[in-house]
Structure 1
């Protein structure tokens, strides 16, 4: 069977929804779980290797089913909910009226207060989180650029499905998922370092990881945190 990049296989093929993905930078066959989309993503370095990753996935069918069964349910942005922000539980409180959302320190911890109802309330809260994300990620990006003696880059904030960030060295641009700002500050700082380091090395070679280590030290705890808690961040606002 001829497989192609972006192709989706019917659930009965492997027991779970599956999408095929070609990543020329990949150094091996791999499987990742896209909790937001509710599917397993089979990654190969080229289209001719897609058949091999499908065969590999057959040996991991039980693992894929288990991981997808564990995915976190969506968490709406509505009054009374508690969401993570900077790694801390933050309550959402309605104030009435049409005022913009703002973050305050309440007697029992951080609180986001916002006007609006329903979708309007959720939109104001999300816009606040995005503004905070841009502020922090731009500052940490600039910090790591200075450390490496790199020139400025263009930073954009998006809501990517699975990747926390991406770097395009050829046009000196970095894109981040705003959701990382809900993680502890050290994790967001690691993400900025991870992307800035790609300006020096575009791959994930040992030389690349040595640059990351220069910026944030041992990066493994931060990567582990994102693997273990990332699905919960992607569930916020769903």
Structure 2
């Protein structure tokens, strides 16, 4: 059977397997897209999709376990408790259609917003995106200055699984707004991670040396994202 990039196949035991061609991939691999609720089989070329499908079938038990363990969605709705730079923040509805705003109360920070249903959720998400832009732009500028790099364009996006990306050729960096829910040192690590790609586009030892120069031992921050990333991607779903 001939497979194609982007094709979805049913998995034994439920769920779907999405085929993905990435010319930069050095090997066949399987990853879990927790947000989409599916497994992704990655091959370096379309002609090797047959191999990666066969490989995925040998991992069917592991895939089923990982899909079953994925974090359930947590809507942005009144009464929900979310995280902002590692702090717990309660969401609270107010009358009218006003934009979401952060209020410090004796019981801790609260995000109050107008709107109902999807309108409420959208206003809260927009607040998080603004907070992410403010924090990440500031930290990006600090790391650029440390490395003697020129300014870059920064975009705040909502990606399915990646936390950020850097395009050195057009000097642009994209960040997932969701990292603003992580502790500040983790969000700062992400900024350093992407800025370092302006010096080295790969993940070589030289690249990681640049990251270390910016934030010190980066391993705890990477581990935090591995451990808690799925939960952050579930917020608002």
TM range, smaller chain: over 0.9
C-alpha distance in 2 between matches for 1:88 and 1:44:
39
Secondary structure (helix, strand or coil) at the match of 2:127 reads helix
Shift of 1:133: 0.4
Secondary structure (helix, strand or coil) at the match of 2:202 reads coil
Determine the structure 2 residue equivalent to 1:9.
9
C-alpha distance in 2 between matches for 1:66 and 1:235:
18
Q: Which 4+ stretches in 1 moved above 6 angstroms?
A: none
Shift of 1:109: 1.7
Instruction: Map residues 189-228 of structure 1 onto 2, 5 A cutoff.
Output: 189-228=188-227
Shift of 1:15: 5.2
Using the size of structure 1 for normalisation, the TM-score is: 0.93
C-alpha distance in 2 between matches for 1:218 and 1:150:
22
Secondary structure (helix, strand or coil) at the match of 2:229 reads helix
Offset from partner CA, 1:4-60 (integer Å, 9 cap, x none) = 322222224x85411122223333322211011000111223333333332322232
Shift of 1:200: 1.2
Offset from partner CA, 1:128-181 (integer Å, 9 cap, x none) = 110000011111111111111111110001111111111111111111110110
C-alpha distance in 1 between matches for 2:198 and 2:112:
39
Asked if structure 2 preserves the Cα contact closer than 8 Å seen for 1:157 and 1:177, the reply is yes
Instruction: Map residues 37-186 of structure 1 onto 2, 5 A cutoff.
Output: 37-186=36-185
* Unmatched 5+ stretches in structure 2: none
Using the size of structure 2 for normalisation, the TM-score is: 0.94
Asked if structure 2 preserves the Cα contact closer than 8 Å seen for 1:16 and 1:64, the reply is no
C-alpha distance in 1 between matches for 2:45 and 2:195:
26
Determine the structure 2 residue equivalent to 1:24.
23
103-112 or 156-165, which deviates more:
103-112
- State how many pairs are aligned: 237
Asked if structure 2 preserves the Cα contact closer than 8 Å seen for 1:32 and 1:41, the reply is yes
Asked if structure 2 preserves the Cα contact closer than 8 Å seen for 1:15 and 1:61, the reply is no
* Unmatched 5+ stretches in structure 1: none
Asked if structure 1 preserves the Cα contact closer than 8 Å seen for 2:11 and 2:60, the reply is no
Asked if structure 1 preserves the Cα contact closer than 8 Å seen for 2:168 and 2:197, the reply is yes
The CA RMSD measured in Å over matched residues stands at 1.6
Secondary structure (helix, strand or coil) at the match of 1:181 reads helix
222-231 or 24-33, which deviates more:
24-33
Secondary structure (helix, strand or coil) at the match of 1:104 reads strand
